[in-house]
Amino acid sequence: MSTYSVADAKNQLSELIDRALRGEGVVITRHGRPMVELKPVDEPVKPLSAADLDWLVVHRVGRTPASEDAGHLVERMRDESER
């Protein structure tokens, strides 16, 4: 892992980014103390498609679909408590 002062990093930022993208550890120091590590950003996760959601519904384990929506459940619980 290589270390660079803030001043050196400012002058070599493009090169340091390229090094980090190649997998080299790059740390920027301030007053001799490590402050920042440059590293590549993880690839974003692609959004789920409708087919993915359908697969999840079919393969759901341990949960059954709700027999009523939340509004009706609260209404029923309120009515039962009033009795």
pLDDT computed for residue 17 by the predictor: 96
pLDDT computed for residue 64 by the predictor: 67
pLDDT at 68 over 90: no
**Tens-place pLDDT, residues 5-46:** 999 999 999 999 999 999 999 999 999 999 999 999 988 888
pLDDT at 61 over 80: no
**In 10 A of CB 9, how many CB atoms?**
21
Q: Please give the single-letter amino acid code of residue 7.
A: A
Map residue 7 onto helix, strand or coil.
helix
> Could you give the domains of the chain?
2-38 (3.40.1620.10), 50-82 (no CATH)
Phi, psi of 2 (to 5 degrees): -105, 150
Q: How far apart are CA 26 and CA 19, in angstroms?
A: 7
pLDDT at 65 over 70: no
Q: What global pTM score does this model have?
A: 0.52
